[in-house]
Amino acid sequence: MAYIKAISYYLPERVVTNEELVAEFPEWSVEKVAKKVGVDRRHVAAPGQTAGDMAEQAARKLFAEHGIRPADIDFVMLCTQSPDYFLPSTACVLQHRLGIPTRAGAFDYNLGCSGCVYGLAVASGLIEAGIARNVLLLTAETYNKYLHPTDKSNRSIFGDGAAACLVSTEGMAHIGQFVLGTDGSGANHLIVKTGAARHRQPTGQSVTDEQEHVWHDDYLYMNGGAIFNFTLDAVPALIAELLEKHHIGKDDVDYYVFHQANKFMLDTIRKIAQLPKDRFYNNLSQTGNTVSSTVMIGLRDALDSGAIRPGMKVMVTGFGVGLSWAGTILDF
């Protein structure tokens, strides 16, 4: 069986407050930003700071905070959509930088908002198959490097950050069964169009979508309406399938830690799924949407605050870019 043994996370030093954003976009107010997306401040990676750098910091915190030895790690996985290089894999670079033995396997995987839970699924498979005993699962993203300076909506939502989790043969939380899903027909709803092999060179072009949002080819574009509608279709069904797969009801789940997309989306999901507010994690205000790291940050914060305690069942879900979604139940 596979367990979460330890969790740590790292946030970059630079903090952008709502007051700073409003100074650039005076048509907004601090109150409007907070009410619209639920974020008061977000951390932003320094110009020369990469996802690999932040993942290294998160891993070193994990080792220091939980007494974990790099020598005991036998697999490294990094979820990121902002790798340090096209090649080699940033996970391979991190194996060397962190002093993890060369007998360890290592790879990156390109996934966003659902990536943490997908990573738990793969790490659990490695443990169950006897391929590894201690998997270092890392998530790190620098979406702010992909945002156009005039994109006030996404700049208000996204924060940079990294998380580190040790998945092992024993630990504090047993990892249950998974529900995973993909709908690539919605790939264009959250995309950076240029820079990779399909469109290698920047185009400098932009168009305005039906919501009056500007889609710049060379920067991150999110069709907020389409993503919202997808989420309202996918997540309630995901919740129902998870409960059925684990042979439990909603009342048997003690706490819910969902991907921290934005406040309005989380509130709507909670109301549609009829989940209790006092058992539903929401802490966007201090970090913003850190993409693949939100779930691990949420779990660690809930553990530290006492919201999650031994003996509790916790549902975790991720959903977004891909389009993709994933969930599982953790038994603490």
Question: Across all residues in the chain, what is the average pLDDT?
Answer: 94
Percent of the chain with pLDDT over 70: 100
Write out pLDDT tens, residues 251-302: 999 999 999 999 989 999 999 999 999 999 998 989 999 999 999 999 999 9
Residue 127 in this model has a pLDDT that exceeds 90: yes
pTM above 0.85, yes or no: yes
Residue 308 in this model has a pLDDT that exceeds 90: yes
Q: What per-residue confidence (pLDDT) applies to 247?
A: 96
CB 82: neighbour CB atoms within 10 A?
A: 22
Residue 109 in this model has a pLDDT that exceeds 90: yes
d(CA 114, CA 45) in angstroms, rounded, equals 21
Residue 209 in this model has a pLDDT that exceeds 80: no
Q: For residue 21, what are its two tokens?
A: 């954003």
Average pLDDT over residues 200-229: 86
Q: For the residues of 39-98, what is the DSSP string, one character each?
A: -SEEE---TT--HHHHHHHHHHHHHHHHT--GGG--EEEEE-SS-S-SSS-HHHHHHHHT
Residue 61 in this model has a pLDDT that exceeds 90: yes
Percent of the chain with pLDDT over 90: 82
Q: In sequence order, what are the residues at sequence separation of 6 or more whose Cβ sits closer than 8 angstroms to the Cβ of residue 1?
A: 127, 128, 169, 174, 175
Write out pLDDT tens, residues 7-40: 999 999 999 998 998 898 888 777 877 787 889 9
Average pLDDT over residues 83-90: 96
Average pLDDT over residues 91-114: 98
Average pLDDT over residues 324-329: 98
116 is annotated as an active-site residue: no
Average pLDDT over residues 153-181: 96
Q: What per-residue confidence (pLDDT) applies to 64?
A: 98
Q: What per-residue confidence (pLDDT) applies to 33?
A: 79
Q: What per-residue confidence (pLDDT) applies to 242?
A: 98
Q: How far is CA 201 from CA 126, 142, 154, 254, in A?
A: 38, 21, 23, 49
Which one of 18, 144, 223, 289 is the catalytic residue? 289
What domains, with CATH codes, occur in the chain? 3-171 (3.40.47.10), 177-331 (3.40.47.10)
The torsion angles phi and psi of 10, rounded to 5 degrees, stand at: -135, 135
79 is annotated as an active-site residue: no
Average pLDDT over residues 196-224: 86
Which one of 79, 113, 116, 165 is the catalytic residue? 113
Place of tokens 């915190």: 61
